[in-house]
Structure 1
Amino acid sequence: MNGKHMQIGEVAARTELSLRTIRHYEDTGLVVPSARSQGGFRLYTEVDVARLMVIRRMKPLGFSLDEMRALLAATDRLDSGADLPPEEHAELLERVRGFEAAAQQRVADLRVQLTRAEEFASHLHARLC
């Protein structure tokens, strides 16, 4: 990481999230800007952008804000560089595995929904031909 700070507009463009959404995630405590400019502007780093991308990927899978917060807390702790007790490390990994399994299931469910939607669209198209 180069330590470069970005203003919220650049972060919004990079993450394809609206300014309002990023501010909402800040209000809910999911993402906190790494710094503020002298003028009070939010300043973000690559780590903040990566965090927002995790949230952006969880959202369409229907994860709640609390679930997002729980996953981020687990990955933050794992990535902290702290010398974790083996039991805590194992528990955190298990928590992340649970989210991975839930994400895989939700992706499978969405594939079924997409297949049904495509079948419906094809059915309508066939009726018009």
Structure 2
Amino acid sequence: MSADAGPETMHIGELAEKTGLSLRTIRHYDDVGLLKASGRTEGGFRLYSQDDLTRLMLIRRMKPLGFSLEEMTNLLGVIDTLQAGAPGSDSLEVRSRLDRFIDQAVERRQTLERQLEMADEFLELLRRQ
């Protein structure tokens, strides 16, 4: 990519602002390979695309469900395989892996919902004091 960030690209600060994530977190995701910058300026600054923003928002939505970086990497690999439409990408094994992630997300969401209900009950008890 060129040194000039066009309207289709954004610097890390803009990406952080749009996602609500810190620069440090985004850099960490880059370092571990979870979200690689689409390019760099001539000065070496990271540039991100709209697709990178979409990917980062998916990552951000996995965090509250307690997915580890390894689990996130695995899920993104499944999604990348399905979106690439490569031969075999629609295989039963790939779909099965996606289904397992969906099941895990549902289970983790239910756990969070129960925790939220307990927090609401706790607040109600405190308010009655």
Q: Does 1:47 align with 2:51?
A: yes
Which of residues 115, 118, 121 is equivalent to 2:117?
A: 115
2:128 counterpart SS class: helix
1:72, CA displacement in angstroms? 0.4
Distance 1:119 1:15 in 2: 31
Q: Does 1:30 align with 2:34?
A: yes
1:81, CA displacement in angstroms? 2.9
Distance 1:15 1:43 in 2: 15
Distance change in 2, residues 1:83/1:39 (3 Å): same
Q: Deviations over 1:45-85 (max 9, x none)?
A: 11111111111001111000000000001111111132226
| Matched residue, 2:98 | 96
Contact (CA 8 Å) 2:81, 2:89: kept in 1 or not? Answer: no
Structure 1: gaps of 5 or more residues? none
Question: Cα RMSD (Å) of the superposition?
Answer: 1.6
Name segments (4+ residues, structure 1) moved above 4 Å: none
Q: Does 1:57 align with 2:66?
A: no
Contact (CA 8 Å) 2:82, 2:89: kept in 1 or not? Answer: no
Which of residues 105, 108, 125 is equivalent to 1:106?
A: 108
Structure 2: gaps of 5 or more residues? 1-5
